[in-house]
Amino acid sequence: MPRLGVIWRSGRAWSGALAALLVASCGDGAGSEKSKTAAESPVVTVVTVSRDGAAGAVRASGLVGYVRETTLSFKVPGVIARIGVDDGDVVRAGQTLASLNLTEYTANVAESNATLRTAESQLARARTLFEKGLVAQARLDDAQLAVDRARAASQSTGFNRAQGVIVAPTGGVILRRSAEPNQNIGAGQPVLMLGETASGLIVRAGVASADASRMKVGDSAVVRIAPGDERKGRVTRIAAKSDATTGGFDVEIAVTPVTGLRSGMVAEAEIVASGGGEVGPIRAPVLALLDARADQGVVFVVDAQSVARRRSVQTVGVERDQVMIVAGLEPGERVIATGAAYVRDGQTVTIAAAP
């Protein structure tokens, strides 16, 4: 009997250990399942999309510049003797800016004049001899031809001394200096670029033909030169003809105030087109767009239960780090901004805070 009691107690202990082992095994399986589910839930960031501006708004990029930017050059060829200004210098009307070395041309003019005087003297002598019957008509004709040629040569080499000098036509700022002293330069070759301060500063920007058709002279605009630097603007000119290369139209926007502006600065303009039109497109991060082909693509929209749904969209272009979407999304929807490449349709995602 004692032996049988020992066996019974040993069997009961073994059964308890086995049950505990089974419970532990079941517990480990549930934990593994939870870990597996968490591992399969991609971590993503999302953005809530909105429409790009108000109805009729047109965005454009351009450069600040003077209304009149004049190229200055010499009217005759020669060697530059002096350039008295440099980039950024402020000049006054009538100020001498550059001059040519006229020594060589002075000598050429003197030689041409001497040749002309000699030809005229020979013509006079030939005419006298012809009247006396001592020379033929051909001799007189040759002398006249020589005078005509000498006169033409004298006129081509002779010039007013002012043609070898560049004078500022009005007050302004030297925007560019394209030549140096002792440089041999041709007639009409650019030497200086003058920005006429009296003409004022504007922003020149290019817009698509569809946008240009909705705009009018006088439309208001907001001009951004730098982050936080917003200025008022007004459309002052819309090109009558499109650019042959881009097909777009140049638009000029007057800016207020002009303090601190310099020619060549990059500006972003948002123009309120009075011609109306559809509301602007929806903006989304470029990384949100998948399978992009021409004007088609795919994004993932996350619902209130954090389930990602694949959505086909239509695009109209990219601006900096954002894609413009005109169909397939509605304002207020949440779109996966990063991590979309690792998500499947209908999959639950873990939303992380955006960096």
Output the domain CATH number for residue 83. Answer: 2.40.50.100
Domain-embedded: residue 10: no
Domain identity same for 209 and 245: yes
**319 pLDDT higher than 80:** no
Domain-embedded: residue 30: no
Domain-embedded: residue 324: yes
Domain identity same for 111 and 174: no
Sheet order of strands, 69-72 included: 69-72, 192-196, 172-177, 90-91
Domain identity same for 191 and 82: yes
Domain coverage including residue 261: 58-67+199-272
Domain-embedded: residue 33: no
Domain-embedded: residue 184: yes
pLDDT digits (tens, 9 = 90+) for 205-241: 998 887 888 889 999 999 999 888 889 999 999 999 9
Domain identity same for 141 and 224: no
Domain identity same for 148 and 122: yes
Domain identity same for 208 and 224: yes
**310 pLDDT higher than 80:** yes
Domain identity same for 244 and 344: no
Q: Give 59's pLDDT tier (boundaries 50, 70, 90).
A: confident
Q: Give 115's pLDDT tier (boundaries 50, 70, 90).
A: confident
**48 pLDDT higher than 70:** yes
**Comparison of pLDDT for 121 and 12, the residue scoring more:** 121
pLDDT digits (tens, 9 = 90+) for 260-306: 899 999 999 988 887 755 556 778 888 888 888 877 889 999 988 88
Of 238, 272, 306, the last residue of a domain is 272
Domain identity same for 320 and 209: no
Domain identity same for 216 and 253: yes
- CATH at 268: 2.40.30.170
Q: Give 175's pLDDT tier (boundaries 50, 70, 90).
A: very high
Of 226, 254, 272, the last residue of a domain is 272
Domain-embedded: residue 344: yes
- CATH at 144: 1.10.287
Q: What is the value of pTM for the model shown?
A: 0.50
Domain identity same for 182 and 227: no
Of 196, 215, 244, the last residue of a domain is 196
Q: What is the pLDDT of residue 89?
A: 94
Domain identity same for 128 and 219: no
Domain identity same for 249 and 287: no
Domain-embedded: residue 12: no
Count of domains for the chain: 4
Domain-embedded: residue 3: no
**5 pLDDT higher than 60:** no
